[in-house]
Amino acid sequence: MSIAAASPCAVTFADAPACEGALLLPVRGVRGGLAFAVQDWVAQEVPVALEFNGISHAVMLATPMDLEDFALGFSLTEGILDGAHELYGVEAEPSEQGITVRLEVAGAAFARLKQKRRSMAGRTGCGLCGTESLAHVSRALPVLDDGAPIDRRAIAKAMARLQAQQTLQQATGAVHAAAWCSAQGEVVLLREDVGRHNALDKLVGALASAEVEAAGGFIAVTSRASFEMVQKTAMAGVPLLAAVSAPTSFAVATAERARLTLVGFARKDDLVVYCRPERLRN
């Protein structure tokens, strides 16, 4: 039996063939002074390459599930696509090296990508210094509308329900989750991945595919609130990001720029608001 026996995925080889996003591997260890040898679920992490109209653009290490959501969400949060309507098709092709996800995008989106790549290449001082300039990191973000205030108890409710829906995390203990929650604190959509940014991109893609009115709720994440997490939330048009851990100073500054309410240390009934507290109702 798996160590994470409470999970729906935590079963032996004889009980079920697979747990999506994880591999069942033999492990040994010591717990409570007693040695054990069991089969346990281990989260998958594989290289995932994104190709746009035949041009390779990015390679990330990700959990190989919800890859269509991932491809769409990444394209939206990186500003490659203006909307889901510019994505014509997605095809994933596995190989020994990893997975190649091929996206067919509109001509306008492809032109945008080529301009982005030229800009990145033109601003790089040397091949070993990275691919983006400081100006490129702090790109233009949408300024979010105020909208209706959200009750802080809705955040506590969502955070309490988040854990129960993290089936891959329960099985492996190795993945992050990002969830879009209604203003009442209901977890409507949730995506998991070994990378916190990937989980959020998957969620943004799922929101776009489902045509959810993203501005009507908030995003809850099981990680810290880094600059990238704030940027992706703003690009998705969601006015509030609640994280179980702390934000960074750059994340707070970015949230202020986008008029996004940033909440950290959201645990049980506790939370800390770092900017735009007027969007929360006590």
- Is residue 82 located within the same domain as residue 171? no
- Phi/psi-derived region of residue 237, left when phi > 0, alpha when psi is between -120 and 50, beta in every other case: left
Question: Over the stretch 100-127, which tens digit does the pLDDT of each residue have?
Answer: 999 999 999 999 999 888 876 644 443 3
- Is residue 127 located within the same domain as residue 214? no
14 domain residue, yes or no:
yes
Question: Over the stretch 209-250, which tens digit does the pLDDT of each residue have?
Answer: 999 999 999 999 999 999 999 999 999 999 999 999 999 999
- Is residue 133 located within the same domain as residue 160? no
- Is residue 227 located within the same domain as residue 116? no
CA nearest 115: which of 184, 196, 55? 55
143 domain residue, yes or no:
no
- Is residue 186 located within the same domain as residue 97? no
Arithmetic mean of pLDDT, 181-187 = 97
Tokens, residue 143: 């300024």
- Is residue 194 located within the same domain as residue 170? yes
Q: Using an 8 Å Cβ cutoff, are 50 and 71 in contact?
A: yes
Q: In which residue are the tokens 């994280």 written?
A: 243
The backbone torsions φ and ψ at residue 166, rounded to the nearest 5 degrees and listed phi first, read -90, 75
Q: Are strands 99-105 and 280-281 parallel, antiparallel or unpaired?
A: unpaired
The pLDDT assigned to 129 comes to: 39
The pLDDT assigned to 107 comes to: 98
The backbone torsions φ and ψ at residue 277, rounded to the nearest 5 degrees and listed phi first, read -70, -15
Which domain CATH number covers 82? 3.10.20.10
- Is residue 180 located within the same domain as residue 104? no
Domain that includes residue 68, residue range = 46-137
Q: How far apart are CA 219 and CA 222, in angstroms?
A: 10
| Tally of CB atoms within 10 A around 94 | 11
pLDDT at 93 > cutoff 60: yes
Q: DSSP string of 111-165? A: HHHHHHHHHHHHT-SSTTS-S--HHHHS---PPPP--S-EEHHHHHHHHHHHGGG
pLDDT at 274 > cutoff 90: yes
- The percent of residues in the chain predicted with pLDDT above 70, rounded, is 88
Average pLDDT, the chain: 90
Domain boundary among 104, 137, 170: 137
- Is residue 55 located within the same domain as residue 89? yes
Q: Using an 8 Å Cβ cutoff, are 183 and 216 in contact?
A: yes
Lowest mean pLDDT among 24-33, 50-59, 128-137, 250-259: 128-137
> Is the torsion defined by CA of 216, 218, 219, 224 positive or negative?
positive
CA nearest 106: which of 126, 92, 89, 118? 89
Tokens, residue 250: 């750059």
144 domain residue, yes or no:
no
Number of domains in the chain: 3
Question: Over the stretch 19-28, which tens digit does the pLDDT of each residue have?
Answer: 899 999 999 9
Which domain CATH number covers 168? 3.40.140.10
SS3 (DSSP) at 270: strand
Question: Over the stretch 136-169, which tens digit does the pLDDT of each residue have?
Answer: 677 789 999 988 899 999 999 999 999 899 999 9
The backbone torsions φ and ψ at residue 208, rounded to the nearest 5 degrees and listed phi first, read -65, -40
| The Cα angle at residue 159 between residues 153 and 160, in degrees rounded to 5 | 90
Active site residue 181: no
76 domain residue, yes or no:
yes
Q: Which runs of consecutive H residues, i.e. helices, occur in the chain?
A: 67-77, 107-122, 134-137, 152-162, 167-172, 196-210, 227-235, 249-258
- Is residue 25 located within the same domain as residue 87? no
Catalytic residue among 19, 126, 129, 181: 126
Q: In which residue are the tokens 């500054």 written?
A: 253
Q: How far apart are CA 60 and CA 49, in angstroms?
A: 6
- Is residue 188 located within the same domain as residue 230? yes
